[in-house]
């Protein structure tokens, strides 16, 4: 159901409030530059520090600005099943095309607990669900057998796999027919090579056209072109994570004049050393370098 390059869009702030103008501009930027879908209120959108009202407002703004031109998969997960149902109901009412549901974090449920969590949400709200597995953030791994079991629920249509394991992706696809989307930019091409259908990307925030072309080339079987783009992007894949996401990507967007670099505690602004490292990489991409020059004249 979901295929291509989806952006895990940042949440721009101005004076500790959502910068609606900047957010709407970002949505238009992605539509104009080939992004296949938009995912607000994920990890990159700083969902843990958004109030309920802010969370819902970001989802509303993105859906309104997208105007049905690309699908919107709203982040709606929490470590509380009740909160997850609440956010998922809002996403459906707002007109989202689907929801991205993180595995509950900190409370470390068993595999049966994970199954019951997601099943309870799908019983309560009829909307396409993308499971989100990122054990490095949550402390729990959604195992292939559990993904296969959940895939039998008709509304569970995809999984965002950010375990960092191609072996785990292979196991999932050997066990069930579910859409796998990469949760790691640098593993997008390898995941597609074993049957994945795309990515929910951080790097697409700043290089949407290149990410879209990478996925499009790989899905069409043009692996020569896909490898070329992969290696062109590899330095930025790695440097977008020199500090905790979304610190580097928000800084990158700020230097090209698209948003403020403002970020909420407990995350802090990027260090001076990593600013230098990141700028050195960004200037290698003409579409970014031109904007940096424009904004720093």
Domain boundaries, the chain: 4-221
Alpha-carbon distance of 9 to 40, in angstroms, equals 5
**CB contact set of 246 (below 8 Å; sequence gap of 6+):** 10, 43, 44, 45, 46, 202, 263, 267
Alpha-carbon distance of 108 to 166, in angstroms, equals 23
Give residue 293's pLDDT: 67
Residues of the chain falling short of pLDDT 50: 297
Give residue 297's pLDDT: 44
Give residue 294's pLDDT: 64
Catalytic annotation, residues: 132, 160
Give residue 290's pLDDT: 85
Give residue 1's pLDDT: 77
pTM for the whole structure: 0.95
Q: What is the homologous superfamily of the domain 4-221 according to CATH? A: Aldolase class I (3.20.20.70)
SS (H, E, C) 201-251: ECHHHCCHHHHHHHHHHHHCCCHHHHHHHHHHHHHHHHHCCCCCCCHHHHH
- pLDDT tens-digit series, residues 66-83: 999 999 999 999 999 999
Alpha carbon of 230 to those of 31, 151, 210, 240: distances in Å? Answer: 22, 30, 9, 15
Dihedral of CA 256/285/203/60: which sign? Answer: positive
């Amino acid at each position: 159901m979901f295929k291509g390059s989806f952006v895990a869009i940042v949440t721009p702030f101005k004076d500790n409030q959502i910068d609606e103008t900047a957010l709407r501009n970002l949505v238009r930027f992605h539509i104009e530059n080939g992004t296949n879908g938009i995912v607000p209120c994920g990890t990159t959108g700083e969902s843990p520090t958004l109030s309920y009202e802010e969370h819902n407002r970001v989802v509303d703004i993105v859906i309104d600005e997208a105007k049905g031109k690309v699908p919107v998969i709203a982040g709606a997960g929490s470590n509380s099943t009740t909160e997850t149902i609440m956010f998922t109901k809002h996403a459906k009412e707002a007109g989202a095309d689907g929801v991205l549901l993180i595995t509950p974090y900190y409370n470390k449920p068993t595999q049966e607990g994970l199954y019951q969590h997601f099943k309870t949400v799908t019983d309560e709200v009829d909307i396409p669900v993308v499971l989100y597995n990122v054990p490095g953030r949550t402390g729990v791994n959604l195992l292939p057998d559990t993904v296969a079991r959940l895939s039998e629920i008709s509304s569970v249509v995809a999984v965002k796999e950010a375990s960092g394991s191609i072996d785990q992706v292979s196991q999932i696809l050997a066990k069930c027919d579910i859409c796998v989307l990469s949760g790691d930019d640098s593993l997008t091409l390898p995941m597609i090579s074993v049957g994945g259908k795309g990515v929910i990307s951080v790097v697409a925030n700043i290089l949407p056209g290149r990410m879209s072309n990478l996925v499009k080339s790989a899905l069409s079987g043009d692996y020569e072109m896909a490898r070329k783009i992969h290696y062109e992007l590899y330095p930025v894949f790695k440097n977008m994570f020199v500090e905790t996401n979304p610190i580097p990507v928000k800084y990158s967007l700020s230097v090209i004049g698209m948003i403020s670099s403002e970020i909420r505690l407990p995350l802090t602004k990027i260090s001076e050393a990593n600013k230098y490292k990141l700028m050195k990489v960004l200037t290698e991409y003409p579409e970014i370098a031109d904007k940096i020059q424009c904004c720093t004249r």
